[in-house]
Amino acid sequence: MKIALLTDGIYPYVMGGMQKHSYYLAKYLAQREVVVDLYHCVPFNEELPTGLKGFTEKEMQFIHHHVIHFPIPAAYPGHYVVESYRFSKQLFKLLLEQAKPDLIYAQGFSGWYMINHKNKLVNIPVVVNFHGLEMFQNAPSFKVRLEHLILIPAIRVNLKRADFVVSLGGKLKAILKKCNNSVLELPIGIEESWLLTKKTNNPNLKFVFIGRYERRKGIEELNQAIVSLSADLTFEFHFIGPIEPNQQIKDSHVIYHGAIREQEKVKALLEQMDVLVVPSWSEGMPTVILEAMACGCAILATNVGAVSVLVDKQNGWLIEPGSVHQLTKQLNTILEMDRKLLKEKQQQSLLKIQTFTWENIINEHIRTFKAIIQKSNLTLQCEDAAVRPRQSPE
């Protein structure tokens, strides 16, 4: 089986959830000896890599990578959509120069031009994954809503013209069903090396937020909730990620670690934490939740995207997005709860995350891809039989 994987960047050359998903998908397909034609990019001002980081020599025997620069960004509104289309056109030209794959898996806009010219790709099924679909979810401000409105028409075109679209689960499936009935539910995953075997007890409760500053991440609401907590309570609140100084709280309870790119350092910090807080207005299936669960954290998160696939009353708490009141109330409840009950939720995270290891979910991906390819081949055989002239009996 040969898969063409199209993506607008791959970890560690480009940071982001979609890019990290592309990395693991390519890696674990190669481990199962599936041939992967990887088409990706780096920013226009960075040198094109000659190889790939993070893959073993054996994995690289099954990965053929093709890398180009992403177009230079312009300054006008909606420039990203135009640049994405130009990028997808470049990838399509590269793809046509290679031997035919059995299936094409396109992340985000990377397959846009190809989908518009599927007549040149006879009998090759196209799977598209837009991950979080944040633009179809809650917008925290009028400005963000306008940004969403620029993206939505182009995304709908991609979703409607794809042969199959990928849902991460939860509320995302209903969003996708409005554009395409052929929905595949395939979650993202985490490596088994993340799994913690035993959680230590902290004398003071430790909360953590992971991510960059972005309005949809709900940092403003989280800051309001933190400052409203009693100064007499004993707790620590850690922020991992590049948070702007004007968004930082001056409080002895709050600790800012800044951006940490080293995975082992993030893992070591998470193992010391008790509760991950994800107050986002919109999400897909956040990798940070998977990582925190693997490190034995209970999860307090908003019920958006596919978050409910990972978080329930067994291992955490779900609240509505944008509600400072609910967030504050739940933080207080956690601070006052019996530590034994918190420990039970942490243990449930460790149990539940085992379902979402890449070592397990890659098998589901391969089964799904094989079924699609088989169905496509049967369809072609039927079409060939229908147009083949009937032979006269001798």
Cβ neighbors of 224 (< 8 A, separation 6 or more) are 324, 328
Encoding tokens for residue 330? Answer: 């739940």
- For 359-374, give the DSSP string: HHHHHHHHHHHHHHHH
Tokens (6 digits) for 367: 């089964």
d(CA 306, CA 170): 4
pLDDT tens digit string along 347-389? 999 999 999 999 999 999 999 999 999 988 776 556 555 555 5
**Residue range 328-341: mean pLDDT, rounded:** 94
pLDDT at 96: 92
E strands along the chain, which residues? 2-6, 35-42, 63-69, 103-107, 126-129, 164-167, 183-185, 205-210, 235-240, 254-258, 275-278, 298-302, 316-319
Q: Do domains 2-189+358-385 and 192-355 have the same CATH topology?
A: yes
Chain centroid to CA 245: 27
Q: Give me the pLDDT at residue 392, please.
A: 41
Strand arrangement of the beta sheet that strand 205-210 belongs to: 254-258, 235-240, 205-210, 275-278, 298-302, 316-319
Residue 239 in contact with residue 209, Cβ under 8 Å? yes
Check residue 34 and report its DSSP letter: -
Is pLDDT above 70 for 126?
Answer: yes
Could you give the C-alpha distances from 230 to 226, 255, 328, in angstroms and in order? 9, 17, 11
Task: Note whether 189 and 27 are within 8 A (CB).
Answer: no
Taking the C-alpha atoms of residue 101 and residue 124, their distance in angstroms, rounded to an integer, is 7
- Distance CA(40)–CA(68), nearest Å, equals 7
Which CATH code, of 3.50.50.60, 3.20.20.150, 3.40.50.2000, 3.40.190.10, is assigned to 2-189+358-385? Answer: 3.40.50.2000
Given this model, what pLDDT does residue 135 score? 93
Q: How many helices (H) and strands (E) does the chain have?
A: 13, 13
DSSP string for residues in 208-234: EEES---GGG-HHHHHHHHHHS-TTS-
* Mean pLDDT computed over 224-232: 85
What is 192-355's CATH number? 3.40.50.2000
pLDDT confidence of 390, banded at 50, 70, 90?
A: very low
- pLDDT of 204 reads 87
Residue 120, pLDDT above cutoff 60: yes
CA distance 299 to 240: 16
Strands of the sheet containing 63-69, edge to edge, are 63-69, 35-42, 2-6, 103-107, 126-129, 164-167, 183-185
More confidently predicted of 352 and 246: 352
Q: What is the pLDDT of residues 307-316, one digit of tens each?
A: 999 999 999 9
Domain boundaries in the chain?
2-189+358-385, 192-355
Nearest Cα to Cα of residue 115 among 166, 162, 159: 162
What residues form DSSP beta bridges with 49? none
Cα distance between residue 310 and residue 2, in whole Å: 31
